[in-house]
Homo-oligomer: A and B are copies of this chain.
Amino acid sequence: MTEKTPAKEEGQYRSDNRRQELMAAAAHLFNQRGYDATSMRDIAREAGMLAGSMYYHFPSKDDLIIATYEEGRRLISNSVLVATEGVSDPWERLTLAAVAHMNTLFGGNNFSILLCADISRTSPTLRSRLIEIRDSYDNLFMDLIDDLPLPESVDKGLLRLSLLGSLNWSSSWYRPGGQSPAQIGEFFVRILKEKLV
């Protein structure tokens, strides 16, 4: 796992410290209130800094949004890849991926759940960048579903969208206390695999 190492190989961190704190503060607030309702001042305050100081680290709010989103993608991609590594049964792979997806979403990192947020209403330039990032994650599921042994009559594209919808919509209703994220992920795959009727 590389996400705890200095990550020099991605060349995207400068003097990691404050930048990471800023991103953590931003992700936290973006999740609580959304992009629009979170001001640069709010983020600065949460990171113990003045608003103007942030602009040394991120040239604009959009850049900060993109950075947190990309960090979210990096973390969840990693989780899914690690979880499915070395497993060959396609349904088991999909189950493990769904479980890793849910565990990452609700496992304490504030970044990945940003990928479930509504981005259809941000500025066109920002939106297209975020969509790119999200698509690069969705592709992992495309591959997992492609490997499934399914009757020809099943549209694999729609199947993927159905599963991702089930999984991501959880961000709008999940609260700790009931079933665990892992159980929920496992269930959403099981009802596709098993005969219900």
A interface residue numbers (CB < 8 A to B): 32-37, 91, 117-123, 149-151, 154-155, 158-159, 161-173, 179, 184, 187-188, 191-197
Contacts and interface: CB of A to CB of B under 8 A. Distances in A.
Contact of A118 (B32, B170, B172): B172
Contacts of A184: 158
A141 B121 CA distance: 27
A196 B196 contact: no
Main secondary structure on A side of the interface with B: helix
B169 A169 contact: yes
Contact of A168 (B33, B123, B165, B192): B165
Nearest to A169: B165
B179 A161 contact: no
Contacts of A170: 161, 165
Contact of A192 (B37, B149, B155, B196): B196
A91 to B, nearest CB: 7
A158 B164 CA distance: 15
Given A34-B36, A117-B121, A118-B118, 8 more contacts: A32-B121, A37-B121, A150-B196, A151-B196, A161-B173, A162-B166, A165-B165, A169-B169
